[in-house]
Amino acid sequence: MNRIAVMTSGGDCPGMNAAIRSVVRTGIANGLEVFGIEQGYKGLMENRIKLLESKDVANMIQRGGTFLKSARSLEFKTDEGQQMAVGNLEANGIEGLVVIGGDGSLTGARILHEKFGIKVVGLPGSIDNDIYGTSISIGVDTALNTICRAVDMINETASSHDRTFLIEVMGRNCGYLALMSAIASGAEAVIIPEVKYNIESIINKIKVRYVEGKSRSVVIVAEGAGSAYDIGKAFQLIGGFDTRITVLGHLQRGGAPSVFDRTLATRLGSAAVKGLIEGRTGVMAGLGNREISFTPLSEVLTKKRDLDETMLKIAEELSL
| From 57-65, 98-106, 167-175, 292-300, span contacting ligand ADP (CB under 6 A) | 98-106
Which of 191, 186, 188 is CA-nearest to residue 223? 191
Nearer to ligand ADP, 101 or 193 (CB): 101
Residue 99 assigned to a binding site: no
Residue 22 assigned to a binding site: yes
Interaction of residue 103 with ligand ADP, rule CB under 6 A: yes
Residue whose CB is nearest to ligand ADP in the complex, by number? 104
Interaction of residue 171 with ligand ADP, rule CB under 6 A: no
Residue 21 assigned to a binding site: yes
Q: Are 3 and 33 in contact (CB under 8 A)?
A: yes
Q: Under rule CB under 6 A, which residues in 55-84 are in contact with ligand ADP?
A: 72-73, 76-77
Three-class DSSP category at 244 = strand
Element (H, E) at 15: none
Interaction of residue 173 with ligand ADP, rule CB under 6 A: no
> Could you give the strand order of the β-sheet that contains 189-191, starting from the edge strand earlier in sequence?
189-191, 217-222, 164-169, 243-247
Q: What are the φ/ψ torsions at residue 231 (nearest 5 degrees)? A: -65, -35
CB of 120 to ligand ADP, least distance (A): 12
| From 102-110, 202-210, 238-246, 304-312, span contacting ligand ADP (CB under 6 A) | 102-110
Q: Residues near 281 by Cβ (< 8 Å), separated by ≥ 6?
A: 96, 113, 118, 119, 120, 121
| From 31-39, 100-108, 190-198, 280-288, span contacting ligand ADP (CB under 6 A) | 100-108
Nearer to ligand ADP, 35 or 41 (CB): 41
| From 3-11, 164-172, 181-189, 264-272, span contacting ligand ADP (CB under 6 A) | 3-11
Residue 104 assigned to a binding site: yes
Q: Which one of 56, 79, 128, 152 is the catalytic residue?
A: 128
Interaction of residue 294 with ligand ADP, rule CB under 6 A: no
Task: Please tell me what DSSP assigns to residue 46.
Answer: T
| Burial zone of 175 (CB within 10 Å; 0-12 exposed, 13-18 middle, 19+ buried) | buried
Which of 31, 37, 36, 43 is CA-nearest to residue 2? 31
For residue 278, give Cα distances in angstroms to 1, 122, 273. Answer: 10, 15, 9
* Residue 128 annotated to the active site: yes
Interaction of residue 104 with ligand ADP, rule CB under 6 A: yes
Interaction of residue 102 with ligand ADP, rule CB under 6 A: yes
Interaction of residue 111 with ligand ADP, rule CB under 6 A: yes
Residue 3 assigned to a binding site: no
* CA angle, 135 then 138 then 139, to 5°: 115
Residue 172 assigned to a binding site: yes
Residues comprising the binding site for substrate?
Answer: 126-128, 163, 170-172, 223, 244, 250-253
